[in-house]
Chains A and B, each alone.
Chain A
């Protein structure tokens, strides 16, 4: 197991280096003079030249890359052009906000998706099964943008149940310690604020979690169906075990393995969808951070932001692989 872990981690190194090369090339392949676009029509030629020097744009491509890697290895992620602040200093609150949203979305997607999948398999070809699978089909093809706006329109504007934007009530702000507001309010023992913060999480996490929820539901269903038809389940049934125990105790543990992979992959994919959700719900996360950087041509931020997301994606995949191996002893580590 340990050697497997080591091997998997070692493989990451070339992957990560490859990622830096790709991200760096993409950013530099974008046409147009970055200095002109960053500073806008109103900037003077002098400040444009100064910016080019600051960004090292006047140096050859290879030098630029090696300088970038050199800085990266020393923990210097660059300086945002727009805010003129080192990215290391400002990225943490954004990461925390995205983490909170992603976690809530995956919680929603997993709980609803897994259960809907189980019930659909359990009651195969029933009305529940058909309804759930039609919803799942719609869910997969739902544009996040549209879903988000509809949620706001219905649950916030018409019904007035939930807040439509942001992470908290601005008139009664949360004191941030970890920037994960759910945890912050628990640490502070402020239950009314915990409730407010949770309410703010509901609509965006449903918007973000709908697609993975649908995918997980479909995966769980098909995986459950396969398991339910296997011999050991027939045996369990024959022993006279209750339906519930058969399904949730005996069938689920085997059916869950491929589902877990899907959950892991979807968690990584959520980071991409977060850009849209964060925009609609004014959620100050990494997606918004990169979005703002793109619209203001803040190249260092775009570069670092993409790299961090890619890194998290790779890391989650590693985690899934390791868990996969841990759950199923039949998997060969070599």
Chain B
């Protein structure tokens, strides 16, 4: 068995079925093995899409996504995708070819120091210098990528090591004495947290991506119900708590919902679970949750106290910690003051629900487009977004009800993420419908991969929120740069329908209310890849908190739903 065969075997041993990649000289021995392997390889048209697809695969399924590329430029094209996965704690393994061992350091053809380049954006990285280590490296990589706080692992693979023969295929992970994630929360801290929760009059839960990663949604719902706390989420926490639940406040932060921002500002106890208090979530940290005792549950000790001073830190896996908290809480009598708090919050929430119905307006409002998307797809549909206004509109208006169904690039804010991530998600869960909501700018960064979509007939629907703008940047220019619209107008090219036609993909342009619904219904029914070019109002903006300001200082007009909302019952009575 040679190194390449060992890699494929080790990947199969880990249960990998699909890899995304792009071949080249330094990775040829591995690709030669793939030729007659049962491993399914999706040939993308740009390596960045391989990394994003692996990421989408990982986020949708909870499994590890795998991507591969050749050395040098192939490897560096993976970098954006690796950094994206790192910022959002997504478990991917990136296998990059490397020049032969004896050439390393000689500036050989297509040589780049991939380990050095990716060190700050990986959880760990490996370069085997002995083919016998390959199975153990793959095994260790999977362990590191998916356990604790998940993250990307890079394997830099010299060509000669891929070709060299193994003495023996030993598939046991390396001993990793420096790697012991803390899963169980400290009992004393848990007790302190419970006391703080019981004594709070106005508790709020802030749920982050960690809730989804650890599968703690059930525990989260239980906690909210017992202590009658409204739940707000970060962008990555979207879907951890059903957003049609009366306790749900939607997303918090710079582009979050007014009700979430104001409620957090008022709360006296903030229970933050699996989130890292990004500046986009907190606004000015000096003004963040000024009256609250803050409980922070996170598996990564380095996240605790990094951005926000915490009163009660608990290091551990969200699910396990919440179970322990619930065990104590269930025996306690929770005071009735919290009932008033939740009733007041729900009332306030209903009063400032953002308006979504613009049934007659042309150009089409993005809110209306999202409303029609929501009315067409079911709760199990996986939705990915790109980055920019399209993303924030979705975060704001799209009601996500289940975990792992809303996939978006949070930390790095990577334009071009939505479409390849949707491909990856569909490969992971072929039974589910997958819809990518993109902006025209982000989509054009990766549109070459329409070829991949057609080639493998991956039936996803791409909704392009088309305003011929770099919408979010333009929004900032409008709000903070005196309307000096420097280089944010993208012009009228291309014609997305014709572009799709070039790739033999069905496409439709929609411009009026009602048309999105119809087009999306047909797209899903067609069972093939489809593009819907949704022409939206380029002037529409979402109210936001200016950078560096407190969460209460929202600017921009906030259109509120005026239709009467039926009275919702407070749960737990």
Are A and B associated in one complex? no
> What residues make up the interface of B, taking CB atoms closer than 8 Å to A?
none
> What residues make up the interface of A, taking CB atoms closer than 8 Å to B?
none
